[in-house]
Amino acid sequence: MPTRSSLWQVDPMRMRKVKWAVEYLPQSKVLVADPAENKGKWKELLQTDTLHVELGCGKGKYSLDMAVMNEQDGFVAVEKNESAAGIAARKMDEDGRDKKLRLIMGDADRIGEWFAPGEVDIIHLNFSDPWPKKRYAKRRLSAPSFLEQYKTVLSSQGKIIMKTDNAPLFEFSVPQFLSHGFSLEEMSVDFRREEHPEDAITEYEEKFIEQGKPIYRAVFEKEKA
């Protein structure tokens, strides 16, 4: 078993199978084995009035930190890579701070199976895979098939907060949101030029900040029907 100091040095987008992480998942306290069973019941489960969902949580730092910073809010982190999910699960389980946090291992395209219409208040898209080739554009988490599901599960004043270092993905995503039932509330092409203590920094973001790369961020609000 690796030491605590070396646990989180794996890139979930490029990682090979991490045996200990995969083996840890079944014993995790934070992992929800059958998330569909909680559909419509997440706020009751987490005892919260505000529900956040992070799609593609990687090793879990963002949702963990945000759940600690916003102790009255509930957070559900979603990660499809089994090894990354195992790393996130152990990190979340071993953190001794109070938090309302759960983890789902699965693909974001199943979000409509896990959450009831209007159940989610905020969706976080942090440094999602850009799928740069055009033939894979439908796999981007800002593609129309995903946006339609987001609209369904989001509450009447629900929001999507997106952060990325990838300019082409950002340029693709903004018009997608605006043409599929969302309005633009905030936008920055260099979000970290100022301090934002209210927003946790992801593992990827730490690397990009160190490299001096700009962070693109936008907040989209669901338009009223």
DSSP SS3 for 30: coil
CA distance 126 to 87: 17
Query: Which position among 107, 129, 165, 190 bears the catalytic label?
Result: 129
Do the strands 101-105 and 74-79 form a parallel or antiparallel pair, or are they unpaired? parallel
Give every strand in the sheet of 154-164, ordered side by side. 101-105, 74-79, 51-55, 120-126, 154-164, 216-222, 182-188
105: how many CB neighbours lie within 10 A of its CB? Answer: 21
Active-site residue, 129 included: yes
What CA dihedral angle connects 124, 154, 121 and 89, to 10 degrees?
A: -50
Q: Single out the residue of 118, 125, 137, 112 nearest to residue 53, CA to CA.
A: 125
Residues labelled catalytic: 129
